[in-house]
Structure 1
Amino acid sequence: MKAPESTDDLRVPEIRTQTIRGAGWSTIEGAASQGLAFVVFLFMARLLSPTDFGLVALANLYVMLAQFLIFCGLGPAVVQSKEYDEENFDTAFWLQMAVGLGFFGLTIGLPAVVADFFGTRSLTPIVAALSPIFIFSALCSMQNAVLSRQLDFRSLALRTLLVSIIGGAFGIALALLGYGVWSLVGQQLLSGLAEVVLLWRISPWRPRFRFSREKARRLVRFGFHAMAADLANLVSRRSGQYFVGKFLGPLQSGFFAIAARVSTLVSEIMIRSLGRVTLSSFSRLQGQPDRFAAAFYRVVGMQSVLVLPVSIGLALLVPEVITVLFGAKWLPAAPTMQVLLLGSGFEALTSVHNSTLTGAGRPDWCNWLTCAHLTLNLVGFAIAVRWGMEAVALASLVRAAVLYPVELVVLKHCLGLSPWESIRRVLPLLVVTAAMAAAVVAVKQVNAGAALTLGLATLAGTACFVGALYLLQRAVFTEMVACLRIFRRGPLTEMAVPE
């Protein structure tokens, strides 16, 4: 069956509407995936030990690395292409299936090699058990690309919700039955299988038995740049977990994993969700510099107003969050979690840059920037790990602060986007967030107990942020309300970009 027709011929003046609705549904998808996974984690955190989580966190480093190689950057290559070509989808699909089957065979045959790389022999059976995920990933990639190109994030959000429920329920059941670390493995395997079934049922596209070497070379050439940037970004973001696990042991790896999980919750819901929508939308604005710039500055503002209060507010409330949700045994993770949350808020200001450059057809610059992040992280982590996991988290925060102005200069050089306009969109929101933070700190002084303090501080902080936004940044407040209204109008049927 053919994929849906290209949306490239739809009316350009309406891209803004669909971009906002797409961002809304993509945010829901992120919230469903990370939010439900987080709820599952809460249950398992009280049933399993930090060491169990540390082992699976290390195994997942290998799984995520292999998945990126399976994807080969072909999804972004298909999404970014100006013209729709069904043969591109078929060629990309069979390429990914070949790579996925290869990783499946290697992993199930040589799991001890992976375990030795992390210095933990007990990883061997866990890595082997997770190998079917590579086949699941290959089967899902092009279906995701089809729906993403059409900005059909509503279907993707519903898919993610169901997958999270199915996998989470299975994982909790295994944990209650006493399967320990294998409850985490079983959750991932069933989630992967459920995603395959649901995506192939939702998407009307089916691959044909055809393969074009010419198109494969072109896709791989573009995909190499996109994949290299994403791969380097993955290694950059996850290398802290590797250093902690290899040099400090599975127990510390478990504490670092929960700290990273909370900061990732913010990133996945708010940052990557908007980034995927901007890639699909910006690719349709090539050759329209004024509209491209307007879309970029609007996304910077939207992202900041969403992420800054969440990341900073959570960082202030980390001890209460851990005590109430996870239990006192996880409190050693609190300082690391606070630093990582501050880092996720800072990186939210730059996360859209890669999507902007890729959408504008400049993934080569994404490679250079991401390699800079990777290099500074690896050097910083290698130096900091001797002082513990808190120092590793701090090294990540310092790296983000150092490279933020560099990314603004690159956007100016490549696309003519003003660094000062980007900063102008963010600074007033930092003032609003500071007002919220003051309210949270004031509530914490009452010492009313962890649960009551968490509830009162959340309410006070939210009310203060909304009120300060309305009083100090009325235009931003009005725009956010308008975005909510556009999102609530119904399914995505039209394309949109800023006028």
Structure 2
Amino acid sequence: MANHRLTTLTWIFTEKFGLILLSMITFVAYARLLSPAELGVGTVIIAIVELIGLVYSSVLEDPLVRLERLEDKHISTAYWAAVLVSLASIGVISGAVMLYTPDPVLQWMTVVASLKILFTMMARVYVAQMRRSSNFRMLASRTLLGKVAGGVGGIAVALWGLGAWAVIAQALIMELVSIIVLMRADPRRIPFHIDGPILRELLRSGAPVAINALSSQTLQRGVNVVLGITAGANAVGMFNMAMRIIELPRTAIYNGLLSYALPAFSRRSAEPKRLIGIIGDSTAVSGFLLTPLFIGIALTANDLILLIFGAKWAEAIPLLQVLACTAAIGNSAMYATTALVAVNRSHLTIKAEVLTTALALALVYTLGNLYGGMAAAGALLARMLVITPLQIRGLNTAIGYSWRGFFEASYRSVIASLVMAATVLVVLPQLGLQGYLHLIGSIVIGALSYAVGYSVMHPHWPQEFKSVFTSR
């Protein structure tokens, strides 16, 4: 059992980190082959399409994963409902873009890009089944194959001088290859049948998840838009530089852990005590790894920015520090939304998600002109400080997850990370290191002091963390 779980997690993280590496390669290629305007047009079109697909996916996929028993009628209902709503969306998008712009190139780009919604939605039932069966090897394989094919296709289109079509080609090829791989792995014929009561139940269960996902995506995209309106392009550039450094590791690690967590939590949804136990254990293990990582990024922000990206990005240093601390705080409740989905109580935090997103955007709008990128970083920190206790309160209402359990799962990693920060700030200046040696010294001293601090508080942590994979 332990080996199976470790193998599952290995495939999850192979997928997530592989995607990041491939994304970096294609982004560098596009930066050289496309103009900023071409890259911007393609990115905006795909972002709109992906936002629509994300909302639909959230409505169907997670409810399918958490079902106690997945039957053929659930699969056929979800699949054909997804196909029909995708085709309708393509029609609406096509009509809207014809009215919005007279430019035939933009019209065709948007219409073609909207096909991505269909490919994405067709994959939902296959992905849900594989998540339920922990077949993350196939999920990783299809995503990586799609990403490689999409990257090669997109770069080829860019080399042919077709500009923004490269971004659209990459996205479409990736999704098309992904759905082909999934269908070949599960070559069943899905009969055309939509069961009304089942569809209503899926929509009822998935609507809160979709609203939460929409709130999150609105926050990520809205902050940049509002910051650009109030503070200008330079502030947006600095903020995105800092945000990119945080998002690359966080996206890979969080998405990997949460992909594994939902089916694991769902299997224990009828046993609150066991569910509370695995949430606490998972939070402790994740915090052990992630809290010092983000605090470490805050400590080394100066070296990371100046040594790797250059002095022109110096304004991003304090933004990176604030965003890293925000991510560290978020570790303490990173499983809250997933756990609420597992017990079908995600509606408990919908208002909090929407209101805190509105609060963050309002702060950026109000303070962006005065503080630039720091207004956006500060707004995200303020939102995190508000939403975290509200998420824990939602968990408490849903399954009885107590504040004591919340603190017990997180306090060791937080204290050890603060010890690490204090040690680095006190010891490192005494060594007189410069440049990359200063960065390496920070990492080594930080890692050693964190390991010692955590081990003093919890000497038997290796055995306890191993038990996470062998019990409950």
TM-score (norm 2): 0.85
Structure 1 position 473 matched with structure 2 position 458: yes
- More displaced 10-residue stretch of structure 1: 414-423 or 234-243: 234-243
Match of residue 76 from structure 1? 62
Taking only aligned residues, the RMSD between alpha carbons, in angstroms, comes to: 3.5
Secondary structure in 1 matching 2:268:
coil
Report the alpha carbon displacement of residue 298 of structure 1 after superposing the two structures with TM: 0.6
Structure 1 position 364 matched with structure 2 position 347: yes
Match of residue 489 from structure 1? none
Report the alpha carbon displacement of residue 245 of structure 1 after superposing the two structures with TM: 4.1
- More displaced 10-residue stretch of structure 1: 59-68 or 174-183: 174-183
Q: Distance in 2 between matches of 1:196 and 1:328?
A: 44
Q: Deviations over 1:209-245 (max 9, x none)?
A: 2221221122112122222222223223332123234
Q: 1:417 to 1:350 in 2, by over 3 A?
A: same
The structure 2 residue matched to 1:66, chosen from 45, 49, 52, is 52
Structure 1 position 153 matched with structure 2 position 136: yes
Q: 1:344 to 1:20 in 2, by over 3 A?
A: same
Report the alpha carbon displacement of residue 429 of structure 1 after superposing the two structures with TM: 0.5
The structure 1 residue matched to 2:393, chosen from 406, 409, 426, is 409
Report the alpha carbon displacement of residue 415 of structure 1 after superposing the two structures with TM: 1.1
Match of residue 220 from structure 1? 203
Q: Distance in 1 between matches of 2:274 and 2:439?
A: 42
Report the alpha carbon displacement of residue 94 of structure 1 after superposing the two structures with TM: 1.1
CA contact (8 A) 2:363 2:375 kept: no
**Letter of the structure 2 residue corresponding to residue 192 of structure 1:** E
- More displaced 10-residue stretch of structure 1: 434-443 or 30-39: 434-443
CA contact (8 A) 1:282 1:356 kept: yes
For 1:398-477, list aligned pairs within 5 A: 398-438=382-422, 441=425, 443=428, 446=432, 448-449=434-435, 451-477=436-462
Q: Deviations over 1:373-399 (max 9, x none)?
A: 323223323323333222112111111
Q: Deviations over 1:309-335 (max 9, x none)?
A: 222222333343345555555555444
CA contact (8 A) 1:271 1:303 kept: no
Q: 1:216 to 1:268 in 2, by over 3 A?
A: same
The structure 2 residue matched to 1:390, chosen from 374, 382, 394, is 374
Q: Distance in 1 between matches of 2:188 and 2:78?
A: 13
Report the alpha carbon displacement of residue 352 of structure 1 after superposing the two structures with TM: 0.6
- More displaced 10-residue stretch of structure 1: 376-385 or 388-397: 376-385
Report the alpha carbon displacement of residue 454 of structure 1 after superposing the two structures with TM: 3.8
CA contact (8 A) 1:470 1:477 kept: no
Could you tell me which runs of 5 or more consecutive residues in structure 2 were left unpaired when the two chains were aligned. none
Report the alpha carbon displacement of residue 205 of structure 1 after superposing the two structures with TM: 4.7
Structure 1 position 162 matched with structure 2 position 148: no
Report the alpha carbon displacement of residue 254 of structure 1 after superposing the two structures with TM: 4.6
Q: 1:162 to 1:350 in 2, by over 3 A?
A: same
The structure 1 residue matched to 2:12, chosen from 23, 26, 35, is 26
Secondary structure in 1 matching 2:460:
helix
Match of residue 103 from structure 1? 89
Q: 1:335 to 1:378 in 2, by over 3 A?
A: same
Match of residue 115 from structure 2? 132
The structure, 1 or 2, with the larger RCO (C-alpha pairs under 8 Å, 6+ apart) is 1
Match of residue 85 from structure 1? 71
CA contact (8 A) 2:280 2:406 kept: yes
Q: Distance in 1 between matches of 2:42 and 2:320?
A: 19
Report the alpha carbon displacement of residue 300 of structure 1 after superposing the two structures with TM: 1.0
Report the alpha carbon displacement of residue 297 of structure 1 after superposing the two structures with TM: 0.5
Q: Distance in 2 between matches of 1:109 and 1:439?
A: 61
Q: 1:255 to 1:136 in 2, by over 3 A?
A: farther
Q: Distance in 2 between matches of 1:113 and 1:457?
A: 56
The structure 2 residue matched to 1:195, chosen from 157, 160, 178, is 178
Q: 1:130 to 1:323 in 2, by over 3 A?
A: farther
Q: Distance in 1 between matches of 2:325 and 2:28?
A: 22
For 1:227-376, list aligned pairs within 5 A: 227-248=210-231, 252-326=235-309, 330-376=313-359
Q: Distance in 2 between matches of 1:252 and 1:181?
A: 25
CA contact (8 A) 2:150 2:170 kept: yes
**Letter of the structure 2 residue corresponding to residue 65 of structure 1:** L
Report the alpha carbon displacement of residue 477 of structure 1 after superposing the two structures with TM: 3.4
Q: 1:482 to 1:283 in 2, by over 3 A?
A: closer
**Letter of the structure 2 residue corresponding to residue 84 of structure 1:** L
CA contact (8 A) 1:255 1:330 kept: yes
CA contact (8 A) 1:377 1:396 kept: yes
Q: 1:443 to 1:253 in 2, by over 3 A?
A: same
- More displaced 10-residue stretch of structure 1: 387-396 or 101-110: 101-110
Report the alpha carbon displacement of residue 252 of structure 1 after superposing the two structures with TM: 4.8
- More displaced 10-residue stretch of structure 1: 313-322 or 410-419: 313-322
Match of residue 142 from structure 1? 125
Report the alpha carbon displacement of residue 474 of structure 1 after superposing the two structures with TM: 2.6
Q: Distance in 2 between matches of 1:177 and 1:316?
A: 44
Q: Deviations over 1:390-438 (max 9, x none)?
A: 2112111111112322222222222111112211221111122234334
**Letter of the structure 2 residue corresponding to residue 273 of structure 1:** G
Q: Distance in 2 between matches of 1:361 and 1:20?
A: 27
- More displaced 10-residue stretch of structure 1: 236-245 or 140-149: 236-245
Q: 1:85 to 1:297 in 2, by over 3 A?
A: same
Report the alpha carbon displacement of residue 359 of structure 1 after superposing the two structures with TM: 0.7
Q: Distance in 2 between matches of 1:271 and 1:365?
A: 22
Q: Distance in 2 between matches of 1:134 and 1:397?
A: 33
Q: Deviations over 1:431-474 (max 9, x none)?
A: 2223433465555874522x454444344434443444344433
Q: Distance in 2 between matches of 1:203 and 1:407?
A: 37
